[in-house]
A and B are shown apart, each in its own frame.
Chain A
Amino acid sequence: MRERERLDEELEVLSRELRRLPTPMPPEALVSRVRRLAHLELAGRADERLNRLVLVFLLLFSWTTTLFPFLAVRLLSGESLFGSATGSTLSWSAAYLVSAWISGAAMLVLLGFHVRKERRPA
């Protein structure tokens, strides 16, 4: 029993000593380097975020601008705005709209893959 108490006391003393060990400081040059590299990394990531936003905006813009000529063609040819397309011009216009939207969607998917790849751990 006494042996056990002595052991506990010794471990307690050792724990206290471990708590009081001086804290080694990282060299100031290292901390400055880390700060500089981190700021560069953060700036790079901010640029990437902005680029992605610009790309998404351009995509939405391109979809909108392809929609307007399509609607204009329909109006000028005397068709209703949302009915099925009839006649050669309207068919071509519809095909143009669909292909533009599909290519935009493909770009969006590629962008999504790129973002996921970036976030995946190395």
Chain B
Amino acid sequence: MGTDSEPVRLRRGDPDAFDAVLARYQNRLYRYLLRLTANAAVAEDLFQETWLKVITRIHRYDERRPFEPWLFSVARNLAIDHLRKASPESLDEPSESGETGVARLGADEPGSLERLLERERHGLLERRLEELPALHREALSLRFEEEMTFEEIAEVLSAPVSTVKSRVQRALSTLRKRMK
């Protein structure tokens, strides 16, 4: 069964198709929302809202196009609405968890020094990522975590491909400076 047939079955109201689509995209959608909002509680609310919105809007989905950018654009619109309502300061609040990579490494977990260092580095990278403006976080997440093409990102953001490319480049440069 192809990826795109599930959304088509979902449009016909098939609950199994919903389960399949949810299972396929739940982690990636949650990660995207978490990166965009930098707030787990908000990301969870938006995650729920997005899936319910998918059901009510699925008749607008064009089955000739890939489902993923459409799904992410639904999530993005909801996130933007939320961020607009929230105070501007909250857009780039650091995440609630100030946990370090070392703290996240359980005491009883077997691991080498390399793993510990890698986790520390990941923790640092995540914190620096959270400090970036929401638009930059979003661009980096879509490009490197979701591994979307520039064209797909442009579809999600409803922006020209050239804008997307420069945004990704700027975000990456800013992140590099902050990692130093």
Question: By the criterion CB–CB under 8 Å, are B121 and A17 in contact?
Answer: yes
Those of B139-171 within 8 Å (CB) of chain A: 140, 144-145, 147
Those of A4-22 within 8 Å (CB) of chain B: 10-11, 14-15, 17-22
Which listed residue, A25, A41, A43, A45, touches B27 by the CB 8 Å rule? A25
Which listed residue, B13, B22, B30, touches A35 by the CB 8 Å rule? B22
Q: Does B135 contact A (CB under 8 A)?
A: no
Question: By the criterion CB–CB under 8 Å, are A18 and B52 in contact?
Answer: no
Question: By the criterion CB–CB under 8 Å, are B48 and A18 in contact?
Answer: no
**CA–CA, A43 to B44, complex, Å?**
23
A25-B30, A41-B52, A45-B13 as given contacts; A18 in contact with B125, CB under 8 Å: yes
Q: Which residue of B lies closest to A41 (CB)?
A: B55
Residues of A within 8 A of B (CB): 10-11, 14-15, 17-27, 30-31, 33-35, 37-39, 41-43, 45-46, 49, 119, 121-122
**A-B contact list, 26 entries, CB within 8 Å:** A17-B125, A18-B144, A20-B122, A21-B122, A21-B125, A21-B126, A23-B27, A23-B28, A23-B145, A24-B31, A24-B34, A26-B26, A26-B30, A31-B22, A34-B47, A34-B51, A35-B18, A35-B19, A37-B52, A38-B22, A39-B15, A39-B18, A41-B56, A42-B13, A43-B15, A119-B59
Residues of B within 8 A of A (CB): 13-15, 18-19, 22, 26-28, 30-31, 34, 44, 47-48, 51-52, 55-57, 59, 121-122, 125-126, 129, 140, 144-145, 147, 172-173, 175-176, 179
